Amino acid sequence: MTDPSTAVLQPTGRLNMVAAPAFKHLVEETVASGQARIVVDLGEVTFIDSSGLGALISGLKATRQAGGDLRIADVPEQVMTVLRLTNLDRVLRAHTTVADASDDW
């Protein structure tokens, strides 16, 4: 069973300057509703740009400020490459599956 305080978000397609503001907003709303543990399932994301990365990092800060965390799961290669390049894989640790990311907060 997934902990009710854990939310799973599933952005799809291109997480870019068009989609990033809505995603950031969704994370903020989720945190505001009391779910500060967020797993972002990136399995359906085909591309991430700098705005998308900014939204993920902003989500990470928002969850941590609320005493939670933001984890990413099922990370596509393009996203992983960008995370490694920017060393953000150090703070946004990639989990293989959503279930895996949802354990041991």
Q: Interface with other proteins by CB under 8 A: which residues?
A: 16-18, 20, 24, 49-51, 53-55, 57-58, 61, 81-82, 85-88, 90-91
Rounded to the nearest 5 degrees, what angle is found at the Cα of 88, between the Cα atoms of 37 and 41?
40
Task: State in angstroms the smallest separation of the CB of 53 from other proteins.
Answer: 6
Least Å distance, CB 21 to other proteins, is 8
Identify the CA nearest to 38 among candidates 65, 69, 15: 69
Q: Least Å distance between CB 58 and other proteins?
A: 3
Q: Cβ of residue 30: shortest distance to other proteins, in angstroms?
A: 15
Number of H helices, E strands in the chain: 4, 6
> Residue 61 or residue 99: which is nearer to other proteins going by CB?
61
- Alpha-helix residue ranges (DSSP H) falling in 1-105: 20-32, 50-65, 77-85, 98-101
Q: Which is nearer to other proteins, 7 or 20 (CB)?
A: 20
